[in-house]
Homo-oligomer: A and B are copies of this chain.
Amino acid sequence: MTFLEMLQGAQERNGSMLCVGLDPEPKRFPGALKGDAGRIYDFCARIVDATADLAIAFKPQIAYFAAHRAEQQLEKLVAHMRSTAPHVPVILDAKRGDIGSTAEQYAVEAFERYGADAVTLSPFMGFDSVQPYLKYEGKGAFLLCRTSNPGGDDLQNQRLGSIEGSPLLYEHVAKLAQGPWNLNGQLGLVVGATYPVEIERVRAIAPRLPLLIPGVGAQGGDAAATVRAGWRADAPIVVNSSRAILYASSGDDFADAARAEARRTRDLLAASRP
């Protein structure tokens, strides 16, 4: 099964475009877990159990584990996702980008050590920094294209060539991912929900690629506008929400509150389909 098929399967089964992002911050944990970096797995596993039938994907952000020396908890968490929700793909949000020989090591980290189904990557170092991941049949890779943060403008919105209509850098990345770089149909793109007009531009360039769209929820992106701009019947969109779900309640009911918020967001996304 390819990553794209796995994504489509979860989309249909759970009626969902919602990706549950796992950015664990112990200081924001509820009740008895609060401040305890040793309970990152416990917190995240509760969220996973509460949302597994509502999600198109899970997206652990590796920085939040690395900052707390919690790599083994991340290994255990992905194994838990695998055993309790085998139909929901796991996207390791790592945004790696390095020369080929180093990229091979990062691919081992993502796919062999953690067992992720897909990874996020930076395209800044070019094709040979992406290629090692594509050697893993059935795995996916989302390239940063137009990111949801303010600084996304600094490079990604630079125009290549000064003629009206010449592409911006992020459009160039979308073209590369749609065309020459996408050797075996494993690539997707990361496009922030904070810029629906740019999601439309990316869709015009890359109509069939899966899009990973962060920025809904705490970052303020408009869920309905995102779906209208990005949704296609034959190309999944994976709309991520992290903090709004994880920290929906600071009480012992956090898992129920996360489930309610995930359901609300899933339904809002579904209702926005054209």
Contacts and interface: CB of A to CB of B under 8 A. Distances in A.
A160 B163 contact: no
A129 B158 contact: no
Contacts of A122: 95, 97, 122, 124-125
A23 interface: yes
A170 to B, nearest CB: 10
Interface string A93-106: 00111111111011
Contact of A154 (B67, B106, B126): B126
Interface string A164-188: 0010010011001000000000000
Interface in A90-127: 95-103, 105-106, 108-109, 112-113, 122-127
A161 interface: yes
A83 interface: no
Contact of A156 (B63, B105, B124, B128): B124
Interface of A: 23, 61, 63-64, 66-67, 69, 71, 95-103, 105-106, 108-109, 112-113, 122-130, 144, 147-156, 158-163, 166, 169, 172-173, 176
